[in-house]
Structure 1
Amino acid sequence: MNLDSIIFDLDGTLWDSTQGVMESFNKTISKYNEVKDKLTIEDIKGIMGLCIEDIALRFFPYLDKEKGLEIIKCCCEEECGHLENKGGILYDGLEETLKKLASTHKLFIVSNCQCGYIEAFFKAHGLSKYFKDYENPGRTGLTKGENIKLIIERNNLKSPIYVGDTDGDLKAARFASIPFIYARYGFGEVTGYDYAIDSFKELYKIIMP
């Protein structure tokens, strides 16, 4: 495959942070009497890849829209510090594969997250050295597809590919007019992808056949 760069989604593609996210979210929402129930791992898996406005609607449909968004923003602030210290579950062979890929390609992250989340991933696991740049809507206010295009333009990429695990990731890649690799081991169900992998380690075989 003739590529000069690989752009990655984060949740469900590089790591599984659902346990830490659940713990930090529940710690935060316990402070709000208007929140009815604690969140479960399945709840968290169901919102991976969504923007914070959609997460607020999913978790708190019974609350005023502004109140739900306020709570989610507080959850996200707690989340980053928690994950920076605790980390998440890295998918099997992640660092070994990133190291090999980074020796031949430029690597990037574009995720639908808030400021500080990608940085928490880097700090918890010492992986920033493999990535040239990253972007998120918390910093730009842009959609995932727009952020992919921003990374492409900012880094003068000629032949990138996007790796993700949800239908939203596929749509973002299509918006940016680049190929898409579906990480089937992640959280989403996707059809119409260009390539698929069942483990992160398989990516090297697709990129460097």
Structure 2
Amino acid sequence: MQKPDSLIFDMDGTLWDAVDTYAHSWNVVFQEMGIEKHIDRSVIAPMVGWEGKKVIETLMPEFDQQKRLDIYATVNDRRHLLIGDMGGILYDGVREGLPLLAQKYKVFILSNCAKGIIQQFIKWAGIEQYITDELAYGVNFMPKHHNIKLLTHKHKLTHPYYIGDTAGDGEQTRLAGIPFVFVSYGFGTTADYDLKFDDFTSLTNYFVNL
């Protein structure tokens, strides 16, 4: 592998854990809409990293697609507010590591979340000055491999690496034709990776000293 000029991070399961906030946003909306349904962490956690279309089909099979989309839009509106109040759990080493990585590489965040959620996360975490750009699935409803290429083209990146925590992240990274860095502390497992780290500090040390 060639030395990277940029690092593109997944968000959920890679930089933070906001599953409890996500679950709460669904339950608030279900209650508001009179829908007798309750979702807890155990339901949401396995879906982290999925594209929105798959999430709503799995969570709400009893509704037609338009109803699912309407509910999902409302959930995301509530989520924008809740992230500011509830936040999530930033993984150990992220707050200290990103400034060091940003001194050496262009740093990006690319996630399968709704539009605006990455921006909310960046603001909540106070890491605005370290992130060159971000792109969410909800902006164009395209898969990660497509959006990785968009960021690569937009910023004229020569050797980006993608860093994520699921097999799906790895598959999408392969489709984009770039190296995949797997972090094992997130929500998924995979044996297909170019590099693997068990904590963010180890990842930081590796790339800072590369």
2:42 alignment partner AA? E
Aligned twin of 1:32: 33
Map Cα deviations across residues 57-95 of structure 1 (whole Å, 9 max, x no partner). 111112223212221221111112210232111000111
Alignment of 1:53-202 (within 5 A): 53-202=53-202
Please give the secondary structure, in 2, of the residue aligned with 1:163.
strand
**Structure 1: gaps spanning 5 or more residues:** none
TM-score (normalizing by structure 1) = 0.94
1:8 corresponds to which residue? 9
Question: Distance between the aligned counterparts of 1:36 and 1:46, measured in 2?
Answer: 22
CA contact (8 A) 2:167 2:192 kept: no
C-alpha contact (below 8 Å) 1:86/1:124 kept by paired residues: no
Deviations 1:23-66 (A, max 9, x none): 12110111233x44210111111211112111111111122232
**Letter aligned with residue 197 of structure 2:** I
What runs of 5+ residues in structure 2 fail to find an aligned partner? none
> What is the number of equivalent residue pairs in this alignment?
208
For the 8 Å contact 1:52–1:73, the answer to whether it is kept is no
1-structure distance, mates of 2:87, 2:46: 20
C-alpha distance in 1 between matches for 2:191 and 2:80: 32
Local SS of the residue matching 1:2? coil
Give CA-to-partner distance per residue, 1:82-132, whole Å, 9 cap, x none.
102321110001111111111111100110111110011011121111110
Give me the whole-angstrom Cα distance separating, in 1, the residues matched to 2:70 and 2:55.
11
TM-score in terms of structure 2 length: 0.94
Partner of 2:23: 22
CA RMSD of aligned residues (A): 1.4
Which residue of structure 1 lines up, in the alignment, with residue 47 of structure 2? 47
Runs of 4+, deviation exceeding 6 Å = none
SS at match of 2:13: coil
Residue type at the aligned position of 1:24: S
- C-alpha deviation, 1:206, in angstroms: 2.8
> Separation in 2 of the partners of 1:43 and 1:82?
19
Letter in 1 for 2:161: I
Q: Which amino acid aligns with 2:124?
A: A
SS at match of 1:46: helix
Which residue identity lines up with residue 137 of structure 2 in the other structure? Answer: P
**Matches of 1:204 and 1:123, distance apart in 2:** 21
Letter in 2 for 1:11: D
